[in-house]
Homo-oligomer: A and B are copies of this chain.
Amino acid sequence: MIHYMITTTFLIAGVGGGVAALVFALFKTRWIYRQSPGSEDLQRISGYVSEGAMAFLSREYRVLIPFVIIVAAFLAVANTGSLRLQSIAFLLGALTSGLAGFIGMRVATASNSRTTHAATNGLNPALKVAFSGGTVMGMSVVGLVLLGASSILIAGSWLYGDDPDTIQYTILPILSGFSLGASSIALFSRVGGGIFTKAADVGADLVGKVEAGIPEDDPRNPATIADNVGDNVGDVAGMGADLFESFVGSLVGSMILALTVDAPVDMRLRLFAFPIILSAVGLLSSMIGVFFVRAREGISPQKALNAGTFGASLLAALLTILTAYLLVGGQSFAGAGMWHLVGSVLIGLVAGVSIGLLTEMFTGTDTYPVNQIVESCQTGAATTIITGVGMGMLSTVFPILIIGATILISFMLTGLFGIAIAALGMLITLGIQLAVDAYGPIADNAGGLAVMAGYPAGVRDITDELDSVGNTTAAIGKGFAIGSAALTAIILFTSFREQAGAGDINLMDVRVLVGILLGAVIPYLFSALAMNAIGKAAFLMIEEVRRQFKQKPGILTDTEKPDYGRCVDISTASALKQMLIPGIIAALTPVLVGFLGGIDMLVGVLVGVTASGVVLAIFMANSGGAWDNAKKMIEGGAGGGRGSEAHKASVVGDTVGDPFKDTAGPALNILIKLMAVVSLVIAPMLMAYWG
């Protein structure tokens, strides 16, 4: 009976939901491709971006494949018995996450030019194309996670049965391999992508704007295509892979913790099924939410997008209540009932939105912190940096208070499982949330293409308006990504502790204390390496652009064509090379600490890396965001305006902020989750090793 229920549930909610999302994405994709790709010039230039993005992906996957094969082989060899299937699940995780990135990038680059062209017909058509592009990304991510995870669960229960012990010690460890696969792609996309995008940006700006004196987004600049590709790589594929990882992680973590709830078998299995059903419910709400996004005359794009996300959230909340009623009803488990479960979901949902809004309050145009930075620009670059650092540091307090409160309250409601449910609740409307996130870079790229393809100024005005909304949603998305990374990491290492069979971890054990200290320093090492990598990659890019200008003097007079491909290639190769060392550090530290220092010390490291990493990530993301908007405010006329000394200072701030917010900060999201997932995957080996 139970068996039947679970398989049915996973078939309907997981496989069914996943397929529905992919079909939805397919329809949206076909609609996008039916839109006009615009003028010939636009098609040609957009083709370069599209080709560049695919060049990045294909090279990334070429680097990835040997890596993935090595890890899969390791999992097949190091494990025994049924756990060897971890390697298959790992491959599936890498494949689905990679596929989601591929689809997202492909459609985003197809939507760019179509958004530009649609903007000739006004704001609303352009919004519709850009948002549809984002929707494909969002639906693909959620659909592939649901499909992949439930396939593994169904296959696992079909192979090994479904009593709770089998699920906990055989099937869920296999599923954690899926999570590791997703994390590997996230590492390459988010960290490699983060290095790529900034190297391209710096190279394009420094040689093109400063040395050659040509404007931004000028097609004569050989690095300009790489710069536009970078936006897609970093903000579409990178953000998607990051949240794919969070989603899988919270799903796996919450299923593991469901089985540890002190309740009868039947109830534990119901709770075990809850995360998948919840995800399906969230997906349904997101799909419906997409239809709420209708820009009409008199309604700003921001309001249209808000209608979608808030509508989806409200619907998801209502459906959560229904789900909890059907699953738990009047029964209780470990002192909690259906309303406690609903409470945990809602707290996560509210926390995610609150962290996003806080991010906006600390980095948005015309907010107190950004105004302070604008003022400090009057006294030069040094005060600009000091104020930005101070404001970024200050901004860390409130999200941490929210995360802390979320943990405490959700734990009080439903124990450790409650925290996991809150983490999942934060991501419940991920489908539409990601759609809104990915919309930003599409609108941004559309603007760049409009300039390069010589569209009239009115088109750029429209894409600029879409883009300015994109900046706000990007800020919210970033806060969201960090918040969910924190909660995901916490439930993953909590799950690790369960799966490794460790009991209480004594904080006063010196190995644990030293583990926390070591963990606290890793985010700094990781950030330092990531920022250092940008310098090296940018250096190669600068050399290349200079070389092209020198060897093909016709480029500047429009008589020769720059070699865009080489710039993309150089940035790609360098980014992927530079991310190897930080990647290896992140992946090997848990293995080394786990086998040399023990399980307790590893938990210490994970706690240290999470606590220190989350705070550092918020600091870097928010300082960077605030500097960015301070510069935009000054360029908009505040505090002296374009060309003033204050403007120069604000450019310094923005340049410092770029690697903070687009490379090091987001990379930390991956770091903390990846280290926890690696630990979770090796938990059975550690348990066997330490006895």
> What is A's interface to B at a CB cutoff of 8 Å?
206, 376, 379-383, 385-387, 389-391, 393-394, 396-397, 400-401, 403-404, 407-408, 411, 416, 419, 490, 494, 497, 504-508, 510-514, 516-521, 524-525, 527-529, 531-532, 534-535, 603-604, 607-608, 611-612, 614-615, 619, 651-652, 655-656, 659
Secondary structure dominating the interface of A = helix
Interface contact B510-A612, CB-CB below 8 Å: no
For A387, A535, A614, A659, the residue with the greatest tally of chain B CB atoms inside 10 Å of its CB is A535
Q: Which of B387, B516, B651 contacts A611 (CB 8 A)?
A: B516
The answer to whether A524 touches B615 (Cβ under 8 A) is: yes
CB of B535 within 8 A of CB of A393, answer no
Contact A615 B506 (CB under 8 A): no
User: Which residues on the B side are within 8 Å of A619 (C-beta)?
Assistant: 524
Nearest chain B CB to A340 CB, angstrom units: 15
Question: Contact at B520–A390, with CB atoms within 8 Å?
Answer: no
Once A386-B656, A528-B390 are accepted as A-B contacts, the answer to whether A615 and B381 lie under 8 Å apart by CB is: no
* B507 contacts A419, C-beta separation under 8 Å: no
Q: Hey, which chain B residues are within 8 Å of A516, CB to CB?
A: 516, 607, 611
Q: Are A386 and B508 in contact (CB under 8 A)?
A: no
The distance in angstroms between the C-alpha atoms of A379 and B534, with both chains bound, is: 14
Contact B510 A411 (CB under 8 A): yes
Minimum distance in angstroms from A198 CB to a CB of chain B: 10
As for how many copies of this chain the complex holds, the number is 2
B521 and A396 within 8 A (CB): yes
Chain B residues within 8 Å of A652, by CB: 380-382, 385, 652
Chain B residue contacts of A527, Cβ below 8 A? 390, 393
Partner of A407, one of B404, B513, B651: B513
13 A–B contacts from the bound complex (CB under 8 Å): A382-B656, A383-B655, A385-B656, A387-B535, A390-B528, A390-B532, A390-B535, A394-B525, A400-B518, A505-B508, A507-B603, A520-B520, A520-B615
Question: In the bound complex, do residue B381 and residue A381 qualify as a contact, i.e. CB atoms below 8 Å apart?
Answer: yes
Instruction: Give the residue of B379, B512, B528, B615 whose beta carbon is less than 8 angstroms from that of A507.
Output: B512
Residues in chain B near residue A514, CB distance under 8 A: 404, 407-408
In the assembled complex, how far is the CB of residue A260 from the closest CB belonging to chain B, in whole angstroms? 11
Known contacts A611-B611, A612-B612, A615-B612; A408 and B511 CB within 8 A of each other? yes
Chain B CB within 10 Å, residue with most, of A397, A512, A619, A656: A656
Question: Besides the contacts A382-B656, A520-B614, what 9 more A-B pairs have beta carbons closer than 8 Å?
Answer: A381-B382, A381-B652, A386-B659, A394-B529, A407-B514, A505-B507, A507-B507, A516-B607, A652-B652
